Structure 1
């Protein structure tokens, strides 16, 4: 794949992209603070029980089932108004919590309602945002743009919770949500300043009442496409066995079985965040140097092989921690390179009229299996132990995605293919 010139690849000359990027960077840091703040508010301010905390966790994840529906909406209307008004609505919603707390009216019912509504709006925003990006950025700049967006998202996920913890020493937990609310307002302003006019999407062959048909057009296209299908399968399997199964018992294994102090656990996880930042920084160079198929397959291989260091961790606590940090770091680098390459490929191939539904289909396949994996891993760990369960889920979570990609036309892909016209 030939390297474009710096003039062709530099997005610093695209003010509209810079506005989108700036707004999203602020919003991502704000969201990281909110994800930290909501459980803290539930526990420390409202004295939530274990069962009530389970409801909080459930409501945080429930809106993901609406991805497919929102994908249809994103393909039928202009996307920029969706981005602006979902940001404004999230600003209003988040401000309800500190206002209710200040008025001594805050209850768990408020928390439940705001979390669910916020999740719905964020799911809609994410669907429209990912399908708006290919319209805003020239095709030859997709890679650089995705790398920049993932860089700030990874930085927010890595440093946001630490920032929130530091702020918690000087302000009450409900007040932290004001920061996220303001970040959404800043994002709305940034998106509203984008100048490129957006045409109304072309109507498809479905009526407003044929939502199921419209959804299947996106999912069916994903599962029929010889390059996208293996990526979708890999995403679903990774979600089930790694995001769901492995992550659900990871803390139990590290703290109870390996005897690692709980205070160190956050530092171990931070290794993955640092790796993701490095991965986002090098993704462009890696993808321009090597064939796309090789980048996808080998980033999956290296990332998953590194995860085997987790059940292999033995010996003194310091040695176990070192192995876990290396596993998180290497996996973070590899997974970020994979994600940037994967996202760029999907955006490049997908026809404009299907961008929203394809994004929604892939997100659904990559997120919905995770809760099932978490449930299964808990049962399996109770029967076999956490270390044995980790061996099983990491092995399956590695071999199936690698096989799905290695024995498909995807593995032989050299450069970016032309956009699909169907």
Structure 2
């Protein structure tokens, strides 16, 4: 097998992958502007309460419950049309927010509808995207491809909030979403230019019962696999408490509780992007030097422990910002190393005919709890205060995933398994 970095197999010679990569790079830049803008709009323009911020987080993540269904469908249809049309639809929907703001019609109800629909389309895109990647990239290039995709996502994570924070000084937060709308259109064009023909899967007369069985086939495969099961369990806990609960009140905590200016909020998020760039650059080197299990375990240990800097943030504004940025940087580094390793492992050992369902199952088990966490965090923060709520949320959400990986066969995995037969 040729090395992923050799001239014969390098993805720099795969024009279709480069088109996908270019489109996603632009789209990710816009998306991270939106990740900054949506909570800022809710807090500063619409004066959302902790409970209302919880609803925003819930609606954004609620469509994740459909990951399993979309995974079955992704195995039965061509993926590229899904990628193109979900990009176009998201561009149109995002443009509605600045239009409503200009017309003095922007309300929380309007934001709720757009955020939910964007989440629904994003869920469809992610399932199709992750199962389309192995179609364009040979197994020996999975690590290189995932590393490249994560590197540009990391760059976008740095540039997006930073650009948004700078622009926020001269334009209103709702107008920032136009950047993401344009980036989605650019992504749609890039994907449309991919030349490799995608065969239409064989038509079948699938019944509702068969779809139900197909969904559970992916879930059962994940939960029975000794290496994938602990990843799914730890991801589910992390999703409930960190991605859902903590993130839904994070902007409210930073801007309102700590008194950090909204423009600095973007700089704090950009710290995560800086760390993510470092992590993406180091991922391949780290995987080649250390065992697969060790990389997965210790990346989650360092990243999760750094989360405690968030509720500990106190003192003058510069110190609060420093502690929050430090937490973001460490999490950025470790999250990218973990994600590249995790994704490569799953893509390597999953049979081709199960790619869509397995991707959907892992994402579902890892992300479905997030909307419940977001809703619960809003209620908890409203009842006991934001900082006490964060202490409880982070303690459980950080420590349980570490335990789930530490006491599993995955922690002892030395090297990447042989690829599934294709």
**TM-score, normalised to structure 1's length?**
0.84
Offset from partner CA, 1:270-319 (integer Å, 9 cap, x none): 32221112111111111111111111111111212223344555666655
Q: Which moved more, 1:166-175 or 1:277-286?
A: 166-175
Report the counterpart of residue 370 of structure 1 in structure 2.
370
Mapped to 1, the partners of 2:178 and 2:377 lie a distance apart of 37
TM-superposed CA distance for 1:342, in Å, is: 0.6
CA contact (8 A) 2:4 2:141 kept: no
Report the counterpart of residue 301 of structure 1 in structure 2.
301
The answer to whether structure 1 residue 214 and structure 2 residue 214 are counterparts is yes
Count of equivalent residues: 420
CA contact (8 A) 2:306 2:327 kept: yes
TM-superposed CA distance for 1:142, in Å, is: 1.1
Mapped to 2, the partners of 1:97 and 1:323 lie a distance apart of 33
Matched ranges for 1:3-22 at <5 A: 4-7=4-7, 10-22=10-22
Mapped to 2, the partners of 1:52 and 1:391 lie a distance apart of 20
Report the counterpart of residue 67 of structure 2 in structure 1.
67
Q: CA RMSD in A?
A: 3.6
Mapped to 1, the partners of 2:375 and 2:168 lie a distance apart of 32
Report the counterpart of residue 287 of structure 1 in structure 2.
287
Offset from partner CA, 1:116-156 (integer Å, 9 cap, x none): 33332221111100110011111111112112212222222
Pair 1:343–1:205, CA change in 2 (3 A): farther
Report the counterpart of residue 199 of structure 1 in structure 2.
199
**For 1:418, what is the secondary structure of its paired residue?**
coil
Pair 1:18–1:232, CA change in 2 (3 A): same
Report the counterpart of residue 230 of structure 1 in structure 2.
230
Report the counterpart of residue 361 of structure 1 in structure 2.
361
Q: Which moved more, 1:351-360 or 1:365-374?
A: 365-374
**For 1:201, what is the secondary structure of its paired residue?**
coil
**For 2:121, what is the secondary structure of its paired residue?**
helix
**Structure 1: where are the runs of 5+ without partners?**
none
Mapped to 2, the partners of 1:266 and 1:177 lie a distance apart of 14
**Structure 2: where are the runs of 5+ without partners?**
none
Offset from partner CA, 1:187-236 (integer Å, 9 cap, x none): 12211211222223367895355332221111111111111000001101
Mapped to 2, the partners of 1:114 and 1:252 lie a distance apart of 20
CA contact (8 A) 1:8 1:141 kept: no
CA contact (8 A) 1:65 1:368 kept: yes
Mapped to 2, the partners of 1:382 and 1:172 lie a distance apart of 28
TM-superposed CA distance for 1:69, in Å, is: 1.5
Matched ranges for 1:132-151 at <5 A: 132-151=132-151
Mapped to 1, the partners of 2:321 and 2:104 lie a distance apart of 44
Matched ranges for 1:43-58 at <5 A: 56-58=56-58
**For 1:89, what is the secondary structure of its paired residue?**
helix
Mapped to 1, the partners of 2:315 and 2:387 lie a distance apart of 14
Mapped to 2, the partners of 1:259 and 1:179 lie a distance apart of 27
Pair 1:85–1:318, CA change in 2 (3 A): closer
CA contact (8 A) 1:253 1:386 kept: yes
Pair 1:115–1:255, CA change in 2 (3 A): closer
TM-superposed CA distance for 1:40, in Å, is: 6.3
Mapped to 2, the partners of 1:107 and 1:128 lie a distance apart of 32
CA contact (8 A) 1:97 1:106 kept: no
CA contact (8 A) 1:71 1:360 kept: yes
**TM-score, normalised to structure 2's length?**
0.84
TM-superposed CA distance for 1:247, in Å, is: 3.7
Mapped to 1, the partners of 2:249 and 2:114 lie a distance apart of 28
CA contact (8 A) 1:154 1:273 kept: yes
Pair 1:247–1:189, CA change in 2 (3 A): closer
Mapped to 2, the partners of 1:93 and 1:320 lie a distance apart of 35
Offset from partner CA, 1:10-58 (integer Å, 9 cap, x none): 321111110001011111222233445556667888x676587765554
Matched ranges for 1:365-404 at <5 A: 365-377=365-377, 390-404=390-404
Report the counterpart of residue 276 of structure 1 in structure 2.
276
Mapped to 2, the partners of 1:301 and 1:30 lie a distance apart of 30
TM-superposed CA distance for 1:88, in Å, is: 2.8
Report the counterpart of residue 79 of structure 2 in structure 1.
79
TM-superposed CA distance for 1:107, in Å, is: 5.3
Report the counterpart of residue 348 of structure 1 in structure 2.
348
Mapped to 2, the partners of 1:111 and 1:387 lie a distance apart of 26
Mapped to 2, the partners of 1:254 and 1:180 lie a distance apart of 24
